[in-house]
Structure 1
């Protein structure tokens, strides 16, 4: 994927190799705090020293993560020292109501996986939310609890060690592959680890099981990740897109614009992002939409207007989720 601008949003400390032959991923979608899906978290994407796979696109900042690309995290009441993550109502809680079925009622009591990653001590005393526990009630008690621990481990490692988070997602899927939200979380973990083919497989399975289309932007961006921008553009025409909330609609625009740029269709990328929502100053996605628009303008040679929109992005980017300020200085 070609980095048209030669720059990416903030991603300090990444140890991943430069892939300037890949498309600029400032157009990567991100999570929404309003998402009702289990994935949640702060949305930061840090390079993993353990990852042996280079990113399929240049590094993208937390401003560009999909609206539902987060594995389930634990409640804000966790005893862990991960208090830097904002509270999310969709995170699994620690309540004692999350219980699984009796072993004698199940047929999957003894599942042994080869090379199953060890559960970190930090999540051993955590539980998933009751709704997810109910979805996993068709599993044996032992298997459901183990799968839940892998989901929590995926959330624990997703920022600091995406590769390790992905391995826990794989293990959870192997143990509870019939549960839609488990497949969804496994897909998000794979996405963060740049395992886009696996992400596509898991998220499509989750979509088939649950019928939920909120993961559509992540799926489309994963298609970009494996070099199929045409497929990402085609997905934008799917009826499921019309059912997305405003956050999802914006994320889909950003992904499609990125796909257009992958195809060197820079004018089309600008046209995709030129919308009334650019004037929004308060939505969580507003800084990223403006940044993506500015980046597309820059790639299309409109440096004057690109500068204008980098400034507009920086003005409302209170949390500095993009590197708009740096882009202003460099122009």
Structure 2
């Protein structure tokens, strides 16, 4: 006669001093139908199964099986057996226990996990049939519906219908059901992020893993670890200079282009005179427009000088002023301006002398006797000579020179100083020649 093993031969040991007071009230109520010895035995194994299911699901399953062998008619014991079997990967056993629970209780809340067991066993059609039953069940709450939808998305992906799986989860995350718990919402967004990652959308996965972290206050997912992993991947890729999942971007703007944008913004807001209103007229502006732009926007003390955080100009783009010297074009402009102003002063002085000569000639043409005419001419010649040699002539010459210098300072100084003075204050960046 073969030896019949008792449950004591393979039941896991129970530590001493187990407190059954930590069990839920509904569980303790079911245990009251057992003898005190059986209630202590079953209750002890249920406590251990609950403590070990996350850290050691296989041992937790063994404790739940020990309780089931002693009290298989209690729904709470069958539920513990089903949950620990599912956690340990014993899907066929878990499916049997869930079916038994449904017969015992008539509840529909087990439909999603039953569908997942069918999926794990490779029976996709049976799994989809259970998810459809769950979706059409009015008694099923929003959390269970979310679980059923995640199972359906997994089945669709297993069947190669990835787009349909993405559509299901995307719709569920964008329009969550009313009454959905925070933990279920976290599981839903986590499933969506995980699916995006498997399809190669690392950017979308990072976005939804990050949202899961915000939702997952109960720490039902490892979204924080997934975010850290993806950010680490991004960091490594950035160091390599490649971003395979990011949309292609045009090449970065050069420092010159960046400064050009700032110059355009400054030009729009600055209250600058028009070309016709500038000293020297539009011709001077045309000759030195390129230099003036550099001085206005990049000179020392300019209001549009780039911030410290702006990209530095490329050394190849920096003009001759970068080494502290003045360009030949600037020197040529200054020379032309100085020559024009000097010519203008001499011309005005010559006009004044011509005017005085004309006045003297008109006075000399007045009709008179020969003696009177000669005397007048002599007198005028003497006075003119005295004026030219004396204080009046000196004063006239001094006034004309002062006028020429003032006009030169007004016209030439404002433009030439703007072109050369700023170069002396500091080199100009971005001079393209």
Whether the 8 Å contact between 1:291 and 1:324 is mirrored in structure 2 is no
- Kindly indicate whether residue 98 of structure 2 is the aligned counterpart of residue 203 of structure 1: yes
Counterpart of 1:261 in structure 2 is 157
Counterpart of 2:211 in structure 1 is 312
Matches of 1:140 and 1:253 in 2, distance apart?
A: 42
Matches of 2:62 and 2:172 in 1, distance apart?
A: 41
Counterpart of 2:227 in structure 1 is 325
Larger radius of gyration: 2
Flag the 1:122–1:221 CA change in 2: closer, same or farther, 3 A. Answer: farther
Matches within 5 A, 1:109-188: 113-121=8-16, 123=18, 126=21, 128-188=23-83
Matches of 2:101 and 2:8 in 1, distance apart?
A: 21
Specify every segment of 5 or more residues in structure 1 that has no aligned partner in the other structure, as ranges: 1-110
Counterpart of 1:217 in structure 2 is 112
Matches within 5 A, 1:1-331: 113-121=8-16, 123=18, 126=21, 128-238=23-133, 241-278=137-174, 283-300=182-199, 305-317=204-216, 319=219, 321-322=222-223, 323-326=225-228, 328-329=230-231, 330=233
Matches of 2:54 and 2:119 in 1, distance apart?
A: 22
User: TM-score normalized by structure 2?
Assistant: 0.46
Whether the 8 Å contact between 1:278 and 1:290 is mirrored in structure 2 is no
Whether the 8 Å contact between 1:200 and 1:222 is mirrored in structure 2 is yes
Whether the 8 Å contact between 1:155 and 1:165 is mirrored in structure 2 is yes
Matches of 1:182 and 1:141 in 2, distance apart?
A: 16
Matches of 2:32 and 2:20 in 1, distance apart?
A: 19
RMSD: 2.9
Whether the 8 Å contact between 1:196 and 1:226 is mirrored in structure 2 is yes
Specify every segment of 5 or more residues in structure 2 that has no aligned partner in the other structure, as ranges: 1-5, 235-433
Matches of 1:289 and 1:295 in 2, distance apart?
A: 10
Deviations 1:16-73 (A, max 9, x none): xxxxxxxxxxxxxxxxxxxxxxxxxxxxxxxxxxxxxxxxxxxxxxxxxxxxxxxxxx
Flag the 1:271–1:196 CA change in 2: closer, same or farther, 3 A. Answer: same
Matches of 2:215 and 2:26 in 1, distance apart?
A: 36
SS of 1:212's partner is coil
Aligned length in residues: 221
Whether the 8 Å contact between 1:127 and 1:148 is mirrored in structure 2 is no
Flag the 1:276–1:263 CA change in 2: closer, same or farther, 3 A. Answer: closer
Give the stretch that moved more between structures: 132-141 or 267-276: 132-141
Of structures 1 and 2, the one with the larger relative CO (CA 8 A, separation 6+) is 1
Flag the 1:180–1:325 CA change in 2: closer, same or farther, 3 A. Answer: same
Whether the 8 Å contact between 1:311 and 1:328 is mirrored in structure 2 is no
User: TM-score normalized by structure 1?
Assistant: 0.58
SS of 2:107's partner is coil
Whether the 8 Å contact between 1:136 and 1:176 is mirrored in structure 2 is no
Give 1:227 deviation, angstroms: 2.5
Whether the 8 Å contact between 1:221 and 1:232 is mirrored in structure 2 is yes
Matches of 2:228 and 2:27 in 1, distance apart?
A: 42
